[in-house]
C-alpha cells in the first residue's frame, strides 16, 4: 500500500502501523497542488509494488467565511487542492490504471450537493469535484 500526502511524519507512522499488522506500506511525500508530485508518487508505487490496483483521490480542505471577507486567493487555494489536485491525480494515475484494469475512487462529500451560508469556496470546489466523477 502506498500512502501519499504532505505530512510525511504522519504517513510514516501509519506505514509502520500497517507493517506491524503484516502489510507492506510505503509513505511518499506528495502535495497535489504541485505539478509533478502525483506523478512521482505513482512512479514510486509502481517501483515498489509493480503496479497500481486502486487509487483514491481524497485530498481536500475547506475555506469558510463570508464572501465579502474572502479573497480570490482563498478561492484559488480551495480549487487548487479540491479540484485541480483531483485532476492531477486522475491524469497521473489513469494510464497505469488502464494498463492494470485498476480502479479510481474520487472522494467527495455532501458539500458537493448542499449549499450552506459562509462556505461558498468549499461548496463551489465540491460541486466542481462532483462533476469530475
What domain count does the chain have? 1
Distance CA 93, CA 75 (A): 26
Distance CA 73, CA 70 (A): 8
- Residue 73, all three cell numbers: 486567493
List the CATH number of the domain containing 21: 3.40.50.720
Q: For each of the chain's 133 residues, which pLDDT tens digit applies?
A: 999 999 999 999 999 999 999 999 999 999 999 999 999 999 999 999 999 999 999 988 888 888 889 899 998 998 999 999 999 999 999 999 999 999 999 987 665 566 666 777 777 777 677 666 5
Range of the domain at 65: 2-130
CA distances from residue 90 to 62, 66, 68, 117 in whole angstroms, order as listed: 21, 32, 33, 31
- Which residues, 6 or more positions from 39, have their beta carbon under 8 angstroms from its beta carbon? 92
The predicted model scores a pTM of: 0.83
Amino acid at each position: 500500500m502506498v500512502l501519499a500526502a504532505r505530512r510525511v511524519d504522519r504517513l510514516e507512522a501509519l506505514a509502520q502501523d500497517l507493517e506491524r499488522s503484516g502489510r507492506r506500506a510505503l509513505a511518499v511525500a506528495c502535495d497535489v497542488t504541485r505539478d509533478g508530485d502525483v506523478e512521482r508518487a505513482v512512479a514510486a508505487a509502481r517501483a515498489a509494488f509493480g503496479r497500481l490496483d486502486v487509487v483514491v483521490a481524497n485530498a481536500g480542505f475547506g475555506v469558510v467565511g463570508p464572501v465579502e471577507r474572502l479573497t480570490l486567493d482563498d478561492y484559488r487555494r480551495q480549487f487548487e487542492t479540491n479540484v485541480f489536485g483531483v485532476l492531477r491525480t486522475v491524469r497521473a494515475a489513469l494510464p497505469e490504471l488502464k494498463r492494470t484494469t485498476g480502479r479510481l475512487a474520487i472522494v467527495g462529500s455532501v458539500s458537493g450537493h448542499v449549499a450552506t451560508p459562509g462556505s461558498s469556496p468549499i461548496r463551489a470546489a465540491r460541486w466542481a469535484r462532483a462533476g469530475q466523477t
